[in-house]
Amino acid sequence: MNVMICDPISPKGIALFQQVPEFKVTVLEKRLSEADLIPLVAEVEAMVVRSETKITRKLIEAAPKLKVVGRAGVGVDNVDVEAATQRGIVVMNTPSGNTISTAELTFSMLMALARKIPQAHMSMKAGEWNRKSFQGTELYNKTLGILGMGRIGTEVARRAIAFGMRVLAYDPYLALSRAKALQVELLELDELYPRCDFITVHMPMSDETNHMINTAAFAKMKKGVRVLNCARGGIIDENDLITAIKGGQCAGAALDVYETEPLPGDSPLRQLPQIIMTPHLGASTEEAQENVGIEVAEAITDYLLNGAVRNAVNLPNLDAKTYAVVKPYLNLANKLGKLAAQLAPKRNDRLVITYGGKAATLPTDPITRSLLKGFLELAGGRDVNQVNVRSLANSLGLLVEEIKSNEEIDYNEWLHVAVYSGDQKVSAGGTFYGSHNHPRIVRVNSHPVEIVPDGVIFLMSNKDRPGIVGHIGTLMGRHGVNIAGMSLSRQQAGGTALTVLNLDSVPSAELLADIQKDPDISNVRIAKL
C-alpha cells in the first residue's frame, strides 16, 4: 500500500509508517502544487498533510486508489472534505495535539506585545541602546478579553489568571455554569470591548466570525487596546486593524495568522512597528509536531490494516457492518441537530436526546455525535466533527443526556431532541416514512408536523384563521419564492397554529418584513438544512 507524506511531520511519525511491511512510504522533500502532485498520486492509497499541501477535488479525482487522507493538525481547511466523502475517502485529523502549543504561543505573544520585546530586540541587534522607546505595560491587574472559550481559549484563560489578570470572555455558546467554573466573566461583545486592555480571539472561521474585529468593533474598544490573533486569519480585518493603529485607537497587535498565507512581502502589516508577527507557528513546537505526527500515523495505519476508523471528520468511528445499519439515522440526527440549533437560543444548558422504538436498539453514540455535530456547527464552524463534538459540548458547559424510551407512540422508530436554556425549551423529533430513504421531521415544539428535512425551512406561529394560508402563498408568490411543501399544526380551532413550509429558495428580508406586518403572525424563523 502506497503512503505519501506530502508535508513535514515528525520523524517518529514517519518511522511508524516505515516499520509497517505492507507500506511503501514516499516522503516528499518539498511542498508541491496541485499540478505537480497529480501525476504522482495514481497509485497512492493514503496521503498525509499538514497545512501546506491542498487536497483538492482535482487531486482526489486523479487518485483512484486513495482511501484515507490524514491531517497532522486540527483544521482540515486545506482538504476538500465534501469531495473526499463523495468518493468514500476517510479524512482524519489530530484534534488535540496542538492545544497547549497554540495557547503558549498566544501567551508568549501577549507578553511580547505588552513589553515590546521584539522591537527592543531588533533595536539591540542594530547596535542601539534605546531604553526610553520601549516602555511597556504590566499584565498584572490588566483585563484580558478572550473571544471563544474552547480548548485553546480555556488554556489561555488559565495562564492569564495565574498572572493576576482579570479575564472577560465572549462565547455565545458557553454555559454560565461553565464560565463560573473557569473563573471568567461571561459578557456580550458590546459589554466586553470597552473594558479590555488586551483582546485575543480563539474562534473558528465562519460567516459569523469573518472580520468580526473591524472598524465598528475597534470604535467600541478602550483607546490603546492591544489585540491578538493566533486562531484563524480573517477574524481580524487587516485593513481596519491598520487604520485603528495609525489612528491611535489600537496600540498594537500580535498576529500568527493572516487573511492570505504566506503573507505577501509587500503587506502593509509589515511596515507597522506596533504589529509583531510570526509565520503561523501555533503548532510549531517539537512536542506538538511529535504528537500529531504519531497520532496521524497510528490512525492511518489502523485504518488501512484493520479497517478501524478514529479521528475521522467525515465518518463515525464504526465498523462497516454497524455503519450500514445506523447510516440513515446519522443523516436524520444531523438534520434534527441543525434545526434545533437554529430554533434555540445560542447559549444552552442541556440537550436531551431520546431514542424510541427500534432506534433504542441501535448504538447511540455515533447518532448522538452526528446530532451534536449539526447542533454545534454554528458554535464550532468547520472544526466541528464527530470526533470532537462531545468535548466541544463539555467545554461549552452543555450537558448532553441520552434516553432510551419504551413509550408507545405512532411511530415504530423515532428520534427526539430537546434543548433547554433556563426556562426555555425547544424540541424536534423525526422518523422515517416507508423506508429509511424517506426521513421526516414529525414534531416541532410538541406540534405534530410533516417536514422533509432538507433545504430551506420556513416556520411561523399564527392565529388559526381563515385565509392565512392563502395570504402567505400570495406573499411568497409575489416575491418569487416557490413553496415545495406545507405542514399545518394547531392545538385547537381558532387558537395558535404552527405553519411550516419547505421552500425552494431563501426568502428575502423584504418578504419576511411583509409577512411580519400581519399582527396574527409571530415567531417567523428560517432554518437551512
Q: Looking at the annotation, which residues are catalytic?
A: 232, 261, 280
Spatial distance between the Cα atoms of 396 and 125, rounded to a whole number of angstroms: 45
Closest among 385, 375, 504, 521 to 462, alpha carbons compared: 521
- Quick one: how many helices (H) and strands (E) in the chain? 17, 22
Q: What is the arrangement of strands in the sheet containing 44-49, beginning at the earlier edge strand?
A: 24-27, 2-5, 44-49, 68-71, 90-92
DSSP string, 97-131: TTHHHHHHHHHHHHHHHHHTHHHHHHHHHTT---G
Could you tell me if 34 and 53 are in contact, meaning their C-beta atoms sit under 8 angstroms apart?
A: no
Rg value, the chain, Cα: 26
Whether 74 and 98 have beta carbons less than 8 Å apart is answered as yes
| Helix, strand, or coil (residue 299) | helix
> What is the rounded distance in angstroms from the CA atom of residue 253 to the CA atom of residue 240?
12
Contacts of 192 by beta carbon, 8 Å cutoff, 6+ apart: 145, 147, 168, 169, 170, 199
d(CA 513, CA 509): 6
Run of H or E residues at 494? none
Q: How far apart are CA 282 and CA 107, in angstroms?
A: 11
Cα–Cα distances (Å) from 12 to 9, 31, 74, 100, 299, in that order, read: 8, 20, 19, 20, 14
CB 404 within 8 Å of CB 423: no
Which residue, 362, 519, 517, 340, is CA-closest to 443? 340
Q: How far apart are CA 504 and CA 225, in angstroms?
A: 46
Supply 164's cell numbers.
493576576
Q: Please answer whether residues 92 and 69 qualify as being in contact, where contact means their C-beta atoms are separated by less than 8 angstroms.
A: yes
